[in-house]
Amino acid sequence: MLMLQWASQYGFADFLNQLESLGFFQYILPFLLIFAVVYAVLTKIKVFEENKGASVVIAIAIGLLALQFDILPAFFQNIFPKFGIGLAILLIGLILAGAFISGYEKAYSWIFFGIGGLIFLIIIFISLADIQFAGSWWWTYFWDRYGAATVALIIVAATIVGIILATRKREG
């Protein structure tokens, strides 16, 4: 509650800038994300079923080790804004499809699943290239030369498959 009062008094942008200067976005949030995922996986696979403390210690250790160098924070700073853009594109497509197209929900769910997968791959490849991850020169080279053509080809193929599935369902 105190944080919200402070944020409203000084402005939300100032609040976010203060959090950024404390390293909240670069270290604390990535640590919490890695910790939560590792702990959830260890709990789910029940490696230390009788000793949850061991799962906590391992999750903390992996979370801290992941932050030892600035590779993970740089990757998170790079990928999550692109992820937001990808979600916005997918959301706009879903809204437009829902507004102008009725019926054939299953075919469209597969089409949007494919578009979401394509957006995911594009975001991953661009983000890995931006942080110069292993072999990133190849992805940058490929994307500069053939990226737009590849995306266009996949969209055309997905549209054709969607139309075939929709007409097959209507006929059958």
Domain boundaries, the chain: 2-66, 71-171
Q: What is the mean pLDDT of residues 20-39?
A: 85
Q: CA-to-CA distance for 165 and 108, rounded, in angstroms?
A: 9
* pLDDT of 139: 60
Of 57-71, 73-87, 102-116, 148-162, the least confident = 102-116
* pLDDT of 171: 58
* pLDDT of 2: 65
- pLDDT band of residue 121 (cuts 50, 70, 90) is confident
* pLDDT of 161: 82
Tell whether the model's pLDDT for residue 4 goes beyond 70: no
* pLDDT of 169: 60
Angle of helix 71-100 versus helix 105-130 axis, rounded to 10: 160
* pLDDT of 6: 59
* pLDDT of 103: 66
* pLDDT of 8: 64
Sign of CA dihedral 58, 64, 70, 73: positive
DSSP annotation of 49: T
Tell whether the model's pLDDT for residue 65 goes beyond 80: yes
Q: What is the mean pLDDT of residues 88-94?
A: 84
Long-range contacts of 159-162 (CB under 8 A, 24+ apart): 159/111, 161/110, 161/111, 161/114, 162/107, 162/108, 162/110, 162/111
Whether 140 and 126 have beta carbons less than 8 Å apart is answered as: no
Tell whether the model's pLDDT for residue 167 goes beyond 80: no
- pLDDT band of residue 77 (cuts 50, 70, 90) is confident
Reading the block at residue 49, the tokens are: 């079923």
Q: CA-to-CA distance for 103 and 101, rounded, in angstroms?
A: 7
- pLDDT band of residue 123 (cuts 50, 70, 90) is confident
- pLDDT band of residue 117 (cuts 50, 70, 90) is confident
